[in-house]
Every structure is written in structure tokens, then in C-alpha cells.
Amino acid sequence: MDSRETLLEILKEKYAYELGRRSSLDSCLGIPITLMSFLIAGVFVAIGDESLWMFSGCTKWLLLVLIGVILIGCVVAFVFLFIVFFGYKRAYSALPESKVVATCYHSFMKRHKKAKRNEEEYIISDLMDYMITWYTDCNSDNTKTNDKRGEALYRFRLVIGVTMGFGILLLISICLIKLF
């Protein structure tokens, strides 16, 4: 195995790794989306409970601030969720279609026939160079895309975590208001 074959194998592994990252980014959204749904449902329950709004102005302001922060957090989280799920889906690169590969192969054959060289050896060499180029380009694009999606997912989780904290604070406030 020569160095170009080794390089090609490394690039293939990197390509498979980036595809795996893509799949994991797509599949890890279930729990955070559920938490966001609970937050929104909790806000609507708090808004709809008329007994909470009969207390003093300070209590109303506390509830309004908490509900406002939770709603803003949910909107911001939804933006990051949209970026993770839809924003960069089209930015992924793939290896060329079979027709493109076949066209390259035939152009290599014609070129080497005209030059009257050992066709097979040069065709394999040219195809290997093209494959290295294709894998390098795809890996570069897919790594950048996965990194952007991963950062958006991190920010989504961070915002949901902070918003959950305010949701718990709202729940505790409601319990204390109802208790007294």
C-alpha cells in the first residue's frame, strides 16, 4: 500500500466520521424539544390560571417577568433549533455522482490512449488523485457544516437549560403564591 492509498483510506474514514456526526446531530434533538414543549405548556397554564393574577402588583410583575423571560428563551432556543435542524442541511457535500466518475474515467482513458502510455497504471493514478481531491473537498465542507450545527446545538441546549431554570423558578413561585 503506497502513501496515496493510505491517504485515501484516512480520507474515507474521515468522510464516514463526518457522516456519523451529521446523523448524531439529527438524532439528539428529542429531549430538548420535549423540554421546550413543557416550558411553553407551563407558560400557558400559568397565564390561564386566573387565581394567580388576583394578588398584589408585585406578584403580578414577578409572574410577568418570569413568563416573559421564558417566552423569550423559547423563541431564541427555537431559532437555534431551526439552525440545527434546517439551517445547514443543504451545505453538506457528497462524492460525485456515478456519471461524473464515469466521465472522468473515460476522459482519462482517451488522454492516455493519445499519449500511448501504459493506460491502466496512469488511469489508476489519475483516479486516485481525483478521489483524494473529492474526499478532501467533501471532508472540508462537511466538517465546517457539522461544526456550525454543533455550535448551534450547544447554544440551543444552553438557552433551553437557562430557560428551564426560569421555568422551575416560575413553578416554585406559583406554588408559593398558591400556598399563601
pLDDT digits (tens, 9 = 90+) for 134-163: 999 999 999 999 999 999 999 999 999 999
% of the chain exceeding 90 in pLDDT: 43
Read off the C-alpha cell for 134: 473529492
Residue 1 pLDDT grade (very low, low, confident, very high; cuts 50, 70, 90):
low
Q: Is 97 left (phi over 0), alpha (psi -120 to 50) or beta?
A: beta
From the list 141, 119, 120, 122, the residue with the least C-alpha distance to 130 is: 122
pTM: 0.79
For the cut 70, the answer to whether the pLDDT of residue 173 exceeds it is: yes
Interatomic CA distance for residues 167 and 169, integer angstroms: 5
Give Cα 49 distance to the centre of its chain: 37
User: What's the alpha-carbon Rg for the chain, to the nearest Å?
Assistant: 28
Q: How confident is the model over 15-28, as a mean pLDDT?
A: 90
pLDDT recorded at residue 118: 65
For the cut 90, the answer to whether the pLDDT of residue 110 exceeds it is: no
DSSP sequence for 29-96: THHHHHHHHHHHHHHHHHHH-GGGGGS-HHHHHHHHHHHHHHHHHHHHHHHHHHIIIIITGGG---PP
Read off the C-alpha cell for 157: 441546549
